[in-house]
Amino acid sequence: MSEDKRTAPQTRGPMGPMRGPMRGPSPGQGHGPMSMMKGEKARDFRGTMAKLLDYLGAYRLGILLVMVFAIASTVFTIIGPKILGQATTKLFEGVLALISGTGSGIDFSYIGRIILITIGLYLTSAIFSFIQGWIMSGISIDITYRFRKDISQKINRMPFKYFDNTSQGEVLSRITNDVDTVNQTLNQSLSQIITSVVSVVGVLVMMLTISWKMTLVALTIIPLSMGIVILIVRQSQKYFAQQQEYLGHINGHVEEMFGGHLVMKAFNGEAESVAKFNGLNDTLYSSAWKSQFLSGLMMPVMRFVGNLGYVGISILGGYLAIQKVITVGDIQAFIQYVNSFTQPITQIANISNILQQTAAAAERVFEFLEEEEEIPEVEEPVIPDEIKGHVEFKNVRFGYDAEQMVIKDFSADVLPGQKIALVGPTGAGKTTMVKLLMRFYDVNEGAILVDGKNIKDYRREDLRCMFGMVLQDTWLYNDTIMENIRYGRPGASDDEVIQAAKAAHVDHFVRTLPESYGMVLNEEASNISQGQKQLMTIARAIVLDPNMLILDEATSSVDTRTELLIQNAMDNLMQNRTSFIIAHRLSTIRNADWILVMNEGDIVEQGKHDDLLKKGGFYADLYNSQFDVVGAE
């Protein structure tokens, strides 16, 4: 506790960004420490807090130590001013004696002793505070680490169904923002609750030992400042919410107009867009300045109230000192106490807010951790030995949600080594079948058998091992091209990787890249086209050398000339392997052994290309439409 806490809050503003380096720039920043802007609440505060405490259980000893040191540190700081006041008093008395000519002047040995004691107090307090912070930061960072780890493990155990309804951004936000909020607020609230309460009680006690009358004056400040705080917060929250809302509108308009820039230009919408923006901008301005003004008001108003207390204490203290009820040092100490009184009180007022934030963030994290997981593996799984590749679908029914069946009654018998094409319009359920086969989802009714065994009886890992997959949505990760192609079979040699790349006709392209196979792909891999990426994923499947193959629009982004070129490699890859091919481009599937034509979740036709064409049914219709020519009627 320093000499003048009145000015202390000023510096905490700019230090804010340093304390929260995890966050990006947010509109809330710079509103000062006392802006209680987030009104977010947890649905089940108690339940979440209980879980959080449970999570904290492992750190019981550490937290106990933190508490002890926090209390000790606060107590030591609180005693400081009172003892130091004695030095001032002694000095004052010495001066008085000097003036009146009585006594021997200032007792420097006494003052020196007091100062030494105070130094000791402050030093101890600083050391304790340091130890407390050291332990606490360790705990909270460890909790953060554990939270993140738990979430990442959880992701792997969750069914795909969850991610159908949850955006990536949401999960990401839990793993970074929410965990971070828990960390920060936990850190803050845990040590603040302790120090604030101890401070308030301690300061109160110390003030009472000096003078109950002055304490009374000091205490009248509290309801005053509390009232003002609540008043301002209520007002500023209103405008803050408004500001956020209008900011949202502006951002929406900006995103939309910049995103559709060409269309806006093409339809001469510039003036209209700017006019709309200016309207939004003006509305934002009127709430923005009010919000900023009001949230910035808190500090000066609190300072003013603090100053009122300061004046009150000065007057009453002076008066009492004349009466010889208190000493000059007492006034000095008292002023320090009053100054250090308002801060913990605002903190305590804020703590419920902080706890609410903690709970809200923690709740989201726990919610995620408690989400339903994948159906557990069977207890005695089938161990596949020699995989023939016989796949059988028996009256499969499936829907992403129970009401809406995507696959209604799908039956097919695929013999080992067959090349099966799944054909049908968008939304027919082709990709869904693949997902069921890989057990990304479980069928609602019916069964899928591989080599005569229900796929549910295999371990997921063993089942998935049998298949090599190439998807339309290429996924490559942040590593070298070499490692990306090797992904399926870590044991593959560099040479095998290069052979695979050659087969997929991507070797030449890779060699034109800055570091060839050593080039690290970044997230967007912006200098590599979608087509090239698809070729790499094909190379990845070639390296894997799986028992069965699934190609889901594997060459959709490869231009048709290149596709012809890699057809050979694909044919080789599919030789004697049970393969499932999904393609929009019907030219890709002309030479499949068997074509399953799907529409609205059912097989509507099946057979060989030529037979199906002759039949003149759904397939023929679909096939011919691509050559349908305008004005041909």
Partner 1 sequence: MRRLLKYLKPYTLLIILSVTLLFVQANADLALPDYLSRIVNNGIQQNGVENSLAVAVRQSEYDKLILFVPQEDLELVQGSYRLITPEDQEALNYLDEFPILKEEAIYLLQDLDQAQQDQLNLVLGKAFVTVSGIQQIVDDPSRAAMLGQGFGFDLSRIPAGMDIFQALGALPADTRAAISARMEETFASLGENMINQMAVGAVKTEYEALGMDAGKIQRDYILRIGGTMLLISLLGGAATIATGYLASRTAAGAARDIRADVFKKVESFSSAEFNKFSTASLITRSTNDVTQVQTVIFMFMRMVLFAPIIGVGGVIRAIDKSASMWWLIALAVLILLGLIIIVFFVAVPKFKLMQQLIDRLNLVTRENLSGMMVIRAFNKQDEELVRFDQANRDLTETGLFVARVMVTMMPLMMLIMNGLSLAIIWVGAHQVAESTMQVGDMMAFMQYAMQIVFAFLMMSMMFIFLPRAAVSGDRIADVLETEVEIRDPQDPKSFPATFRGQIEFNDVSFRYPDAEDDVIQNVSFTAQPGQTTAFIGSTGCGKSTVINLIPRFYDISEGSITLDGIDIRDVKQSDLRDKIGYVPQKGTLFSGTIQSNLLYADPDAAPEVLQEAAEIAQAVEFISAREEGFEADISQGGTNVSGGQKQRLAIARAIVKKPPIYIFDDSFSALDFKTDSALRRELKKKTGDSTVLIVTQRVATVKNADQIIVLDQGRVVGQGTHQELMKTCQTYQEIASSQLSKEELA
Among positions 540-559, residues that touch partner 1 (CB under 8 A) are 544, 559
Binding residue for partner 1, selected from 39, 50, 231, 314, defined by CB under 8 A: 314
Measure the CA angle with vertex 449, ends 443 and 452; round to 5°: 155
Whether 202 contacts 78, CB under 8 Å:
yes
Q: Which of 507, 563 has the CB closer to partner 1?
A: 563
Q: Which residues, 402 to 441, sit near partner 1 by CB under 8 A? A: 425-426, 435, 438, 440
Both tokens of residue 148?
A: 């993140």
Tell whether residue 176 is a contact of partner 1 (CB under 8 A): yes
Q: Which residues, 262 to 291, sit near partner 1 by CB under 8 A? A: 262-270, 273-274, 277-278, 281-282, 284-285, 288-290
Distance between CA atoms of residues 235 and 224, nearest Å: 17
Q: Which residues, 572 to 591, sit near partner 1 by CB under 8 A? A: 584-585, 587, 590
Whether 457 contacts 465, CB under 8 Å:
no
Decide the pairing of beta strands 445-450 and 453-454: antiparallel
CB of 433 to partner 1, least distance (A): 14
Whether 310 contacts 339, CB under 8 Å:
yes
Handedness of CA 584, 557, 497, 480 (dihedral sign): negative
CB of 160 to partner 1, least distance (A): 7
Q: Which residues, 27 to 46, sit near partner 1 by CB under 8 A? A: 27, 29-30
Beta bridge partners of 469: 550
Tell whether residue 375 is a contact of partner 1 (CB under 8 A): no
Whether 357 contacts 403, CB under 8 Å:
no
Q: Which of 152, 572 has the CB closer to partner 1?
A: 152
Q: Which of 50, 230 has the CB closer to partner 1?
A: 230
The DSSP code for 519 is P
The DSSP code for 174 is I
Tell whether residue 102 is a contact of partner 1 (CB under 8 A): no
Binding residue for partner 1, selected from 163, 216, 413, 515, defined by CB under 8 A: 163
Tell whether residue 292 is a contact of partner 1 (CB under 8 A): yes
Tell whether residue 250 is a contact of partner 1 (CB under 8 A): yes
Count CB-CB contacts under 10 A for residue 221: 21
Which window, 57-65, 193-201, 317-325, 345-353, contacts partner 1 (CB under 8 A)? 317-325
Task: Show the site string, 200-219: x = touches partner 1 by CB under 8 A, - = not.
Answer: --------------------
Distance between CA atoms of residues 52 and 562, nearest Å: 56
Tell whether residue 373 is a contact of partner 1 (CB under 8 A): no
The DSSP code for 267 is T
Q: Which residues, 478 to 517, sit near partner 1 by CB under 8 A? A: 478, 487-488
Whether 593 contacts 414, CB under 8 Å:
no
Q: Which residues, 59 to 98, sit near partner 1 by CB under 8 A? A: 77, 80, 84, 87-88, 91-92, 94-96, 98
Binding residue for partner 1, selected from 61, 100, 452, 514, defined by CB under 8 A: 100
Tell whether residue 304 is a contact of partner 1 (CB under 8 A): yes
Residue where the block lists tokens 């790499």: 536
Binding residue for partner 1, selected from 155, 348, 449, 604, defined by CB under 8 A: 155
Binding residue for partner 1, selected from 255, 370, 372, 413, defined by CB under 8 A: 255
CB of 302 to partner 1, least distance (A): 10
Task: Show the site string, 434-453: x = touches partner 1 by CB under 8 A, - = not.
Answer: -x--x-x-------------
Q: What 3-state DSSP class applies to 412?
A: strand
Interior/surface letters 170-199, b for 16+ CB within 10 angstroms, e for the rest: ebeebbeebbbbbbbbbbbbbbbbbbbbbb
Q: Which residues, 323 to 362, sit near partner 1 by CB under 8 A? A: 328, 331-332, 335
Give the number of residues in contact with partner 1, rule: CB under 8 A.
Answer: 167
- Tell me how far the alpha carbon of residue 255 is from its chain's centroid: 22
Distance between CA atoms of residues 135 and 186, nearest Å: 13
Q: Which residues, 459 to 478, sit near partner 1 by CB under 8 A? A: 460-461, 464-465, 467, 469, 471, 475, 477-478
Distance between CA atoms of residues 3 and 334, nearest Å: 11
Count CB-CB contacts under 10 A for residue 552: 20
